[in-house]
Amino acid sequence: MVPQAWYLLLSALLFGLGIAGFVARRNTLVMFMSVELMLNAANVVFLAAARDHVPARGSACALFVIAVAAAEVAVGLALVLALFRLRKSVQADEVRELRA
Amino acid sequence: MNLVAGLLLILPLAMAALLGLFGKRLHGKTPGLLAFGMAATCFGLAVAAFLHLRGLPEEARFVEASFWRWLDLGSGDQRLALDVGVWLDPLSVTWALFVTGVGSLIFLYSISYMEHEEGAWRYFSYLCLFLFSMLILVLGENLVLTFLGWEGVGLCSYLLIGFDYGKEVAARAGRKAFVVNRIGDVGFLIGMFWTWKLYGTLGHGEMKPIMAAVTAVPPLLALGYFVGACGKSAQLPLFVWLPDAMAGPTPVSALIHAATMVTAGIYLVLRLSPLFVAAEWALDVVAWTGAATALFAGLIALRQRDIKRVLAYSTVSQLGYMFLACGLGAFGAAAFHVITHAFFKALLFLGAGAVIHALHGEQDLWKMGGLKHHLPKTARAMTAGAFALAGIFPFAGFFSKDEILGVAFAQGYAGDPSRYVLWGMGVLTAALTAFYTARMMTLCFGGTSRVDPHLHPHEAPAPMAIALQVLMVASIVGGAALGFEALHWMPLHHWIDPVLAAPPHPTHLPPALNWGLMALAMMIAVLAWRIGAKWYGGDFAPARQAELTAPRFAKLLQGRFFVDELYALLIVRPLRFVAELCLEFDRRVVDGLFRGAGSFSALLSTTVRLAQNGVVHAYAFWMVVGAVLLLTLALA
């Protein structure tokens, strides 16, 4: 059986990739994908914990995260679409209207 | 009688409201005619009240008419119940008579005087309000109503002095009158509170038996009222507002600052005369203040160039005589002088107004002269007034002034040497009065003309002339008709003395001495007049040179003893300094706190604002940093 530490390591790697992508990339779509990556890194931890400790609770949490992620994508993609219609571009650094 | 009394108050108030609200739509002489009609009606009502009282037996000569309950506070000993009502007795009716009588004439005069002025309706509205205030002052059935009128005349005085509010001088003089009067009012209020505390009432009717029985009164109580009287009647040290009040239109000077309002102080003292008599040394303070004011103002009047200022100081001086009489306990003589003074001073002011009117606003005596050829009628009328002021037989002022001096001498003769000093001051003032009056008349009407050659002086129009003629007659016969003590012809005294306190000191002289003093006073007055007329008559150059190169004392007179400057130095400047301090404190500390709070948050927000740069990546970065920080904190 694969030791739990490996799962945690995998999760940390995925989460790190997600943060890096979220902070570094300018394309909003890629930023979204990075967010998904981080959510799924969390899922990995939940499921690993479910396997070793309390199966039902961990799986339920993972299901919640998937549901939230789906909802988030629905809103987020709508925003990206709206942004594209407005700007003909989805580059995050071109949108600075909120500057104080 | 209730109806008459009520109408006396309602008519002026209604007319003031009418003119004040709708007067702007009236043109030309209409507002003046309406106001004059009202004033004349009031005079008629006052005469009716007078005749009614005359018909009653002497001890029942009063009418108390209450219209409605005004206040009812507290209970038992602490109860203060006041009615709005009228108290008619010989004293109040006498005042009402000359206030409405002289007042009507001045209203009449004003019709022409103000005809071409902007805002004459406003002027007449104020004048009506003034008449109302003065009537409630004298007729009000309790001291609080008197105080209401007292404040009312103060307000109207302020409004009328500052009638020409565009002019800085007028606005300033109005404020000064208001503030100085307010100082006196504090005294009045203290007197009132104290009276209520001691006697539990403020109604004139209820106080009548109390005052008749009172034997000892705290002197300071009486002096509280006297301070109020000093403010209103322009006595030392609160006289400074009256000369400045000449910034108002001339008929106002005549009405308020000579004939009526300034006599309110005397009225108060007379109304409360039993309290003054019972208050040990209070009367002496009154007497000495009066005599000192008379002399002081008489000296200042010697060297004033503005014709209205000469008259203003003479008013202050004559009011001093009235207080001297009050202080000597000769209350009837004070009332007598009030009435004759109302006649001749109104006449002099209205005459001066006619002169100023003819010269298109010129008030400087040095730029007049020779006007008797251009204004013969005015000159004649004013001469009668001037003789009355100077106390020359048989003009009105002679009788009343002589009676006051006679009382002072009688008390000295009866063994109080300090009264000789008061008498001396009075006689000296009489000489000064004759001298400066002669100076004023000669500079104005006599000698050669120094008038601007572009001006063509002309006689005043009919309403003004009529008012002058009537007052001239009153100034000539008014004194002899009302009383001549030496011949025991004293109708005014018989009428008014029963409601006044009995003199605490002797007032009668042996006839021979009385006649002798009278002749002496007469001689002094005539002599002083002759000197004044000679000095300033004929060639003007040497007199002018003498005034210009005056020695130090005369400079002091020209500068009006620098009383205004002294007050500025002692009172106004320190007050201003404190005010500036407070202002600085407010600006720096109080405002500083608030502004500091504001600018601190502004500073904070400018700093924090920089974080809000609109770069999505920066937000993401800080979000991550934040999350990491929180996590570290949670784990640590």
- The per-residue pLDDT for range B341-360, each reduced to its tens digit, is 999 999 999 999 999 888 88
**Residue range B315-337: average pLDDT?**
92
Give chain B's domain count. 3
Bond from prior residue into B491 cis (ω within 30 degrees of 0) = no
> Is B612–A99 a contact, with Cβ atoms under 8 angstroms apart?
yes
**Which element (helix H / strand E) includes B336?**
helix B331-358
Is the model's pLDDT at B268 over the cut of 70?
yes
Domain that holds residue B194: 1-230+250-279
Give tens-digit pLDDT for B68-78: 888 888 887 77
Give per-residue pLDDT as tens, B412-430: 888 888 899 999 999 999 9
Q: Which residues of chain A does B610 touch, with a Cβ-Cβ cutoff of 8 Å?
A: 100
Exposure on the CB side of residue B220, measured as CA atoms within 13 A: 4
Residue B97 in this model has a pLDDT that exceeds 80 = yes
Which residues lie below 8 Å from residue B337, measured CB to CB, with a gap of 6+?
Answer: B318, B321, B322, B325, B397, B400, B401, B403, B404
Nearest beta carbon to residue B615 from set A19, A28, A93: A93
State which H helix or E strand residue B253 sits in: helix B250-254
**Residue B446 sits in the same domain as residue B574:** no
The residue out of B538, B558, B578 marking a domain boundary is B558
Give the domain-ending residue among B558, B587, B618. Answer: B558
Contacts of A24 in chain B (CB under 8 A): 617
CATH (one of 1.10.1740.10, 1.10.10.2840, 3.40.50.620, 1.10.287.3510) for A4-87: 1.10.287.3510
Judge if B482 and B598 occupy the same domain.
Answer: no
Q: How far is B609 from chain A (nearest CA, A)?
A: 6
Q: Taking CB atoms and an 8 Å limit, are A99 and B614 in contact across chains? A: yes
Same structural domain, B324 and B375: yes
Identify the pLDDT of residue B386.
93
Six-digit token string for B149? 């009128």
Asked if residue B241 has pLDDT above 80, the reply is yes
For B184-193, the pLDDT digits (tens) are 999 999 999 9
One domain, residues B526 and B394: yes
Look at residues B121, B250, B248 and name the one whose alpha carbon lies nearest to residue B178: B248
In Å, how far is B617's CA from the nearest CA of chain A? 6
- Of the ranges B206-210, B382-386, B534-538, the best mean pLDDT one: B382-386
Task: Say yes or no: A17 contacts chain B, CB-CB below 8 A.
Answer: no
**Chain B contact set for A93 (CB, 8 A):** 615-617
Q: To which residue do tokens 């909802």 refer? A: A71
B30 in the same domain as B103: yes
Chain A residue nearest residue B622, CA to CA:
A23
Say which of B612, B613, B620 has its CB closest to residue A23.
B620
Q: Tell me the C-alpha distance between B167 and B246, whole Å.
A: 13
| Cross-chain residue pair A99–B617, CB shorter than 8 Å | no
Residues of B in contact with A22 (CB under 8 A): 620, 624
Smallest CA-to-CA distance from B291 within B315, B260, B327, B262 is with B327
Task: Give the model's confidence band at B114: pLDDT under 50 very low, under 70 low, under 90 confident, else very high.
Answer: confident
The tokens describing A36, both together, are: 């998904």
What is residue B413's predicted lDDT score, i.e. its pLDDT?
A: 87
What band does B457 get if pLDDT is binned at 50, 70 and 90?
confident
B238 domain-assigned: no
A27 to chain B, any CB pair closer than 8 A? The answer is: no
Residue B239, in any domain of the structure: no
Partner-chain residue, chosen from B609, B614, B621, that has the shortest CB–CB distance to A97: B614
For B624, the closest of A19, A96, A98 (CB atoms) is: A19
Q: At residue B556, does pLDDT exceed 80?
A: no
Chain-chain contact of B615 with A26 (C-beta, under 8 angstroms): no
B214 shares a domain with B118: yes
Using a CB–CB cut-off of 8 Å, the residues of B that contact A are: 609-610, 612-617, 620-621, 624
- Domain membership of residue B245 (yes or no) is no
Instruction: Identify the band that residue A64 occupies on the pLDDT scale cut at 50, 70 and 90.
Output: very high
Q: Judge if B305 and B413 occupy the same domain.
A: yes
Whether residue B617 and residue A100 make contact (CB cut-off 8 A), yes or no, is no
How many Cβ pairs closer than 8 A exist between chain A and B? 33
Binary contact (B614, A96; C-beta < 8 A): yes
Burial B224-239 (b: 16+ CB within 10 A, else e): bbbbbbbbbbbbbebb
pLDDT single digits (tens) B386-414: 999 998 888 888 999 999 999 999 988 88
Q: Are B44 and B94 part of one and the same domain?
A: yes
pLDDT of residue B613: 79
Contact assignment for B613 to A100 by CB distance below 8 Å: yes
Task: Name the closest residue on chain B to residue A26, using Cα atoms.
Answer: B617
CA A7 to chain centre: 17
Q: Are residues B599 and B501 in the same domain?
A: no
* C-alpha span between B380 and B505 (Å, rounded): 41
Residue B442 and residue B384 in one domain = yes
Do residues B400 and B306 share a domain? Answer: yes
Residue ending a domain, among B536, B558, B580, is B558
Percent of chain B residues topping a pLDDT of 90:
39
Residue B550 pLDDT > 70: no
CB spacing of B617 vs A19 below 8 angstroms: no
Top mean-pLDDT range of B40-54, B252-266, B408-422, B470-484: B40-54
| B537, pLDDT greater than 80 | no
Instruction: Assess whether B340 and B197 both reside in one domain.
Output: no
Asked if A88 has any chain B CB less than 8 Å from its own CB, the reply is no
Interface residue A33 vs chain B (CB under 8 A): no
Question: Is residue B235, in this structure, part of any structural domain at all?
Answer: no
Closest in A19, A24, A92 to B616, CB measured: A92
CA distance A16 to A42: 11
pLDDT level of residue B493 (50, 70, 90 thresholds): confident
Q: Which residues of A touch B616 (CB under 8 A)?
A: 28, 92-93, 95
Q: Does A100 score more than 70 pLDDT?
A: no
- The reply to whether B244 falls in a domain is no
Establish if A97 touches chain B: CB-CB under 8 angstroms: yes
Q: What is the pLDDT of residue B186?
A: 92
Which helix H or strand E contains B63, and what residues bound it? strand B63-73
In sequence order, the β-bridge partners of residue B203 are B142
The phi and psi torsions of A51 (rounded to 5 degrees) equal: -65, -40
* Chain-chain contact of B614 with A100 (C-beta, under 8 angstroms): yes
CA distance B491 to B90: 12
